Amino acid sequence: MRADFLIRKPEGIYCPYGDFYLDPYQPVAKAIITHAHGDHAKAGNFQVFCTSATQKIMTLRLKKNAGKDFQIHAYHQAFKIGEVTVSFLPAGHILGSAMVKMEFENCIYLFTGDYKLQADETCEPVSFCKADVLITETTFANPAIQHPDPVKEIQKLNQIESNILLGVYGLGKAQRLTKLIQKNCPEKQIWLHYAIYPIHQLYQNEGIDLGNFQHYHRKAMKENPKNQIYMVPPLTFESYSKANGVVKMFASGWENLQNGNDEKLFISDHVDWNDILRTIKEVEPKEVWTIHGDGKQLKKYFSDTLEVKIL
């Protein structure tokens, strides 16, 4: 194992043996993009390596600034960047999301990006491989955080007759919740904010059946005071803080995003503490490197049995 296989630079996490970055913060010459969320898929990279769905979502959102030269690869298809053999594995986070398997000098490094183990019919299910080094996100790497069953959470909506203003992230979360509501809350009618609707359409075009949903218009919500759900992105949700006649909820794993709302809806698209432990058991790494969060509790937990490094 090379301790310097991945290093932090101002532009982001860099692999010197392949001369590429993983989800860089700033535009670079060669970028592997794990998925199309804005904190991972920045505009302006020259050469972009990603899955087909990620490229389509980036192009929808970033238009001509999505990237100069896209190198599209299917899951499990090996390709070379410099001296490193790379392949994508499904991350289960959103449509097209990928873990990055990197092979160099007979050592396997698995970079998770954002990922989840919970079932989600709107994206490819997570798929692991054995690796010498696991580089895992630690967004919720805290023993106190355990995500509830998403089906039981979404069924809370059946107890609410009033119309619901539902704050969601427009990419991934909105589509997952649409599918969950269709299956578990059949009386509910889903209306979408204009910024979310095109992403639903893209998912549909990619073969993901999201059921019935409509473009929001105010008259419909006013004429139907019950069983209507209006999905809006975070900024719109905040701007409607004083809205009357609706139950306000925000779908997230973060406790602070539940504060001040009428009801709580804990649905996350990240692994929790137990899922990270399951991942380590599945991958069987010799070392764990942590990113995107606080790896201190994981380092403490494995202090006597496994090398954990905060990257």
| Domain of residue 164, CATH code | 3.40.50.10710
Q: Does residue 242 surpass a pLDDT of 90?
A: no
Q: What is the pLDDT of residues 39-52, one digit of tens each?
A: 999 999 999 999 99
Same domain, 64 and 132: yes
**Percent of the chain at pLDDT exceeding 70:** 100
pLDDT at 148: 97
Strand, coil or helix: 118: coil
Q: Does residue 203 surpass a pLDDT of 90?
A: yes
Q: Does residue 241 surpass a pLDDT of 90?
A: no
Say if 175 falls within a structural domain: yes
Give the pLDDT mean for 224-251: 92
Half-sphere exposure in the Cβ direction for 100 (13 Å, CA): 29
pLDDT at 294: 93
Say if 188 falls within a structural domain: yes
Owning domain of residue 287: 7-143+270-310
Q: Does residue 32 surpass a pLDDT of 80?
A: yes
Q: pLDDT band at 217, cuts 50/70/90?
A: confident
Question: pTM of the prediction?
Answer: 0.96
Say if 1 falls within a structural domain: no
pLDDT at 270: 98
Half-sphere exposure in the Cβ direction for 166 (13 Å, CA): 34
Same domain, 14 and 132: yes
8 Å CB contact between 162 and 186: no
Q: Does residue 221 surpass a pLDDT of 80?
A: no
Same domain, 11 and 118: yes
Say if 264 falls within a structural domain: no
Same domain, 90 and 174: no
Question: Other CB atoms closer than 10 Å to residue 79's CB: what's the count?
Answer: 12
Q: Does residue 219 surpass a pLDDT of 90?
A: no
Q: Does residue 135 surpass a pLDDT of 90?
A: yes
Same domain, 99 and 183: no
Same domain, 168 and 226: yes
User: Among candidates 63, 80, 75, which has minimal Cα distance to 35?
Assistant: 75
Same domain, 46 and 187: no
Same domain, 132 and 167: no
Tokens of 264: 């709580």
